[in-house]
């Protein structure tokens, strides 16, 4: 079993007869940790009902935004730790792990970070300060997010690449390792289960490992669209990354019920939806929920079948009402997660329970 899945909280360890009523974490606890991204300020940004759902269903937390560069260091040398401190404290209070996200990204990062002199020093300083503050309290860090090109070859042409060259990745991983010897360090990206980007990512990771860079995990984001889940690619990717000796986590899973051609999970994409395109404003039709359930079941089955490599499955949001997919790539009513707007389990929960019994 991989490092970050070694210690699921005792209360969440599964017995063999676990049902959907026991909650998502209990269902999967024999195989991997189940986590959830939270965008609200904890604890008061959640209603008591949402808090109960979060604590009852999940064993790990990812900060949806508050640890990103622009949030945690909005101006040079001015750090804002209030929200991340509260999130880490909440997780500890409830026996949940923290999967921190993220240190180096081309999005949600102030322009001053990668312009002018001293880019490398500022990057190392950011990582030392942020990772150091939570050292020993964070299970995993997404050290670098979305560095691989798509489309294109090699690395994404990001401001980090322009400022520091390809070396920026190893600078970041070494700085993170120095600041917290115990956190499991991740490379995180979207579409890296798909063959072309998978090959580019494998090449990158192999190179890093050969040079002794302390990358230990691969985060496959998993922002997928209903009926387009790449099951076979995903299995091949888990096996390929696992073959490098890395643990694999599904770090940001959701299953969009509205097609969004050609945008992957690129947060820079914006679309205008007209009101008549808000297909499911009045609720999600049962046949769509049934397909979503079946596909979530298949997904979890695949992950459980690869439990020796898969450390964690994290959903990108607590329930449909707070999903980023209501706003990205444009505004419409979405239903991508396991729980509906009233915090009720959707059909996916039963499908997952059934899939795990097989
Ligand atoms: C998203 C958040 O969910 C939104 O609230 C924010 O406005 C934009 O970023 N890939 C990632 C995440 O790695 O950080 C993104 O989160 C979703 C895509």
Calculate mean pLDDT across residues 326-336. 96
- Compute the distance between CA of residue 279 and CA of residue 246 in angstroms, rounded to an integer: 41
Active site residue 252: yes
Calculate mean pLDDT across residues 14-19. 58
**Nearest to 179, CA basis, from 117, 137, 120:** 137
- Compute the distance between CA of residue 229 and CA of residue 298 in angstroms, rounded to an integer: 10
Residue 119 burial (CB count, 10 A): 19
pLDDT higher than 70, residue 10: no
**Nearest to 187, CA basis, from 157, 176, 150:** 176
The string of pLDDT tens digits covering residues 258-291 is 999 888 999 999 998 877 789 999 999 999 999 9
The reply to whether ligand 1 has any atom less than 6 angstroms from the CB of 267 is yes
- pTM here? 0.95
pLDDT higher than 60, residue 14: no
The string of pLDDT tens digits covering residues 202-245 is 999 999 999 999 999 999 999 999 999 999 999 999 999 999 99
The string of pLDDT tens digits covering residues 125-141 is 999 999 999 999 999 99
Let me know if 259 is exposed, middle or buried by CB neighbors in 10 A (0-12, 13-18, 19+): exposed
Q: What are phi and psi of 147, to 5 degrees?
A: -90, -15
- Compute the distance between CA of residue 107 and CA of residue 99 in angstroms, rounded to an integer: 19
The reply to whether ligand 1 has any atom less than 6 angstroms from the CB of 326 is no
* Contact (CB, 8 A) for 98 and 134: yes
The reply to whether ligand 1 has any atom less than 6 angstroms from the CB of 251 is no
Average per-residue pLDDT for the chain: 94
What pLDDT is attached to residue 273?
A: 84
Which residue is catalytic, options 50, 64, 83, 146?
A: 146
Q: What's the CA-to-centroid distance between 267 and ligand 1, angstroms?
A: 7
Q: What's the CA-to-centroid distance between 324 and ligand 1, angstroms?
A: 7
The string of pLDDT tens digits covering residues 294-330 is 999 999 999 999 999 999 999 999 999 999 999 999 9
């Amino acid at each position: 079993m991989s490092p970050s899945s070694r210690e699921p909280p005792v209360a969440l360890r599964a017995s063999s007869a676990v049902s959907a009523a026991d909650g998502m974490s209990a269902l999967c606890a024999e195989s991997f940790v189940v986590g959830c991204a939270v965008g609200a300020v904890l604890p008061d940004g959640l209603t008591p009902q949402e808090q109960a759902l979060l604590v009852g269903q999940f064993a790990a937390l990812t900060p949806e935004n508050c640890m990103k560069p622009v949030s945690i260091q909005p101006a040079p040398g001015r750090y804002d730790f209030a929200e991340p401190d509260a999130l880490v404290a909440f997780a500890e209070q409830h026996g949940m792990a923290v999967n921190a996200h993220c240190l180096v990204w081309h999005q949600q990062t102030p322009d001053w970070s990668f312009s002018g002199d001293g880019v490398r020093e500022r990057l190392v300083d950011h990582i030392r300060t942020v990772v150091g503050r939570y050292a020993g309290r964070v299970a995993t860090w997404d050290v670098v997010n979305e560095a691989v090109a798509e489309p294109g070859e090699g690395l994404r042409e990001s401001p980090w690449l322009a400022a520091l060259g390809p070396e920026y990745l190893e600078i970041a991983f070494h700085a993170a390792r120095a600041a917290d010897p115990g956190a499991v360090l991740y490379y995180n990206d979207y579409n890296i289960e798909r063959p072309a980007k998978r090959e580019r990512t494998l090449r990158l990771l192999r190179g890093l490992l050969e040079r002794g860079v302390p990358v230990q995990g691969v985060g496959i984001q998993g922002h997928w669209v209903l009926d387009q889940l790449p099951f076979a690619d995903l299995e091949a990717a888990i096996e390929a990354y696992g073959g490098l000796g890395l643990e694999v986590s599904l770090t940001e899973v959701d299953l969009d019920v509205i097609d969004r051609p050609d945008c992957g999970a690129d947060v820079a994409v914006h679309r205008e939806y007209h009101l008549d395109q808000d297909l499911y404003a009045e609720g999600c039709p049962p046949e769509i929920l049934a397909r979503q359930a079946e596909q979530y079941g298949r997904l979890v089955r695949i992950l459980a079948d690869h439990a020796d490599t898969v450390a964690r499955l994290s959903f990108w949001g607590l329930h449909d009402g707070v999903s980023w997919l209501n706003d990205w790539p444009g505004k419409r009513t979405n239903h991508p997660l396991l729980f509906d707007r009233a915090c009720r389990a959707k059909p996916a929960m039963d499908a997952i329970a059934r899939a795990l019994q097989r």
